[in-house]
């Protein structure tokens, strides 16, 4: 399989610009930025839709249900508060209420297989044990998904019963926030390892963009950005 270089480069440009738009409209978790920037500085890599790890409550048939079988009640990339969990006991249950925590999921495309294999090795060494090449395509390149095993998925309520009683909220919140934090630590580990290795061939256009816009967020680690986000939320909440 040969990747169509022109198409791939156009896609890189478009994903790069979309990333900054997504950040502006709040679609992008800011703590992903350091990692995404480090990856994009490499010529043969562009990132795609990714997640820094999050807490999601849904009313769904099963935790993996999508669309018609599932309604998202809330989604957060920062620690959850007991009040937010307690809200889940005040609403009617249509299917089941689930509380899910997922670790980071990074999607990226490489221009060739050799780069994909190198990234896969670094990911594996950084604890991303469920990573792989999910597709190969002449236009889209070699697409990788990097994931950890950091995950929790608990049924809180069925239509007839509470599986986890609301009284258990404090213990549950502690658990959930710890798992979220564990995910952010893995994000930081991957960032550190990639920063040591990359770029093999710097992408001059990306480097120029970063300089021109005075971007410096990738000098911080994901966990530093996460902690800033979390404390901003706390401050807003206390005001």
> What DSSP character marks residue 201?
S
CB atoms within 10 A of CB 9: 16
Q: Determine if 145 is a binding residue for a second copy (CB under 8 A).
A: yes
Kindly tell me which of 84 and 224 has the beta carbon lying closer to a second copy. 84
CB of 54 to a second copy, least distance (A): 15
Closest C-alpha among 58, 134, 149 to residue 100:
58
Output the CA torsion 172→173→179→185 (10° steps).
-160
Q: Determine if 88 is a binding residue for a second copy (CB under 8 A).
A: no
Kindly tell me which of 84 and 112 has the beta carbon lying closer to a second copy. 112
Kindly tell me which of 32 and 150 has the beta carbon lying closer to a second copy. 150
Kindly tell me which of 59 and 203 has the beta carbon lying closer to a second copy. 59
The contacts of residue 111 (CB under 8 Å, 6+ apart) are: 3, 5, 8, 43, 44, 45, 141, 142
Q: Determine if 7 is a binding residue for a second copy (CB under 8 A).
A: no
What is the distance between the alpha carbons of residues 67 and 148, in angstroms, rounded to a whole number? Answer: 24
What is the distance between the alpha carbons of residues 48 and 19, in angstroms, rounded to a whole number? Answer: 8
Q: Which of positions 118-137 make contact with a second copy (CB under 8 A)?
A: 120, 130-136
Are 101 and 152 contacting, i.e. CB atoms less than 8 angstroms apart? yes
CB of 134 to a second copy, least distance (A): 5
In the list 20, 49, 139, 149, the residue contacting a second copy (rule: CB under 8 A) is 149
CB of 178 to a second copy, least distance (A): 8
Q: Determine if 151 is a binding residue for a second copy (CB under 8 A).
A: yes
Burial of 207 (0-12, 13-18, 19+ CB in 10 A): middle
Count of residues of this chain found to bind a second copy when the rule CB under 8 A is applied: 39
Q: Determine if 112 is a binding residue for a second copy (CB under 8 A).
A: no
- Which residues would be at the binding site for a second copy (CB under 8 A)? 1, 62-64, 96, 113, 117, 120, 130-136, 144-145, 147-155, 158, 160-165, 168, 171-172, 175, 179, 182
């Amino acid at each position: 399989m040969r990747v169509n270089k022109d198409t791939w480069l156009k896609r890189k440009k478009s994903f790069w610009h979309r990333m900054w738009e997504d950040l502006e409209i709040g679609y992008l978790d800011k703590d992903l930025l350091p990692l995404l920037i480090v990856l994009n500085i490499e010529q043969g890599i562009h990132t795609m839709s990714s997640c820094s790890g999050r807490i999601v409550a849904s009313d769904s048939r099963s935790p993996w249900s999508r669309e018609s079988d599932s309604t998202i009640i809330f989604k957060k990339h920062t620690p959850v508060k007991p009040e937010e969990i307690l809200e889940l006991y005040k609403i009617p249950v249509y299917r089941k209420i689930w509380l899910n925590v997922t670790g980071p999921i990074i999607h990226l495309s490489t221009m060739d297989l050799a780069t994909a294999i190198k990234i896969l090795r670094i990911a594996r060494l950084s604890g991303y044990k469920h990573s792989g090449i999910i597709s190969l395509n002449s236009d889209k390149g070699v697409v990788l998904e990097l994931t950890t095993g950091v995950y929790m998925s608990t049924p809180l309520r069925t239509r007839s019963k509470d599986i986890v009683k609301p009284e258990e909220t404090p213990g549950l919140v502690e658990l959930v926030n710890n798992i979220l934090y564990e995910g952010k630590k893995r994000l930081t580990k991957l960032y550190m390892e990639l920063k040591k290795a990359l770029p093999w061939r710097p992408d001059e256009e990306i480097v120029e963009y970063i300089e021109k816009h005075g971007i410096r967020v990738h000098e911080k680690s994901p966990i530093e950005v996460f902690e800033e986000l979390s404390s901003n939320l706390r401050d807003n909440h206390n005001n």
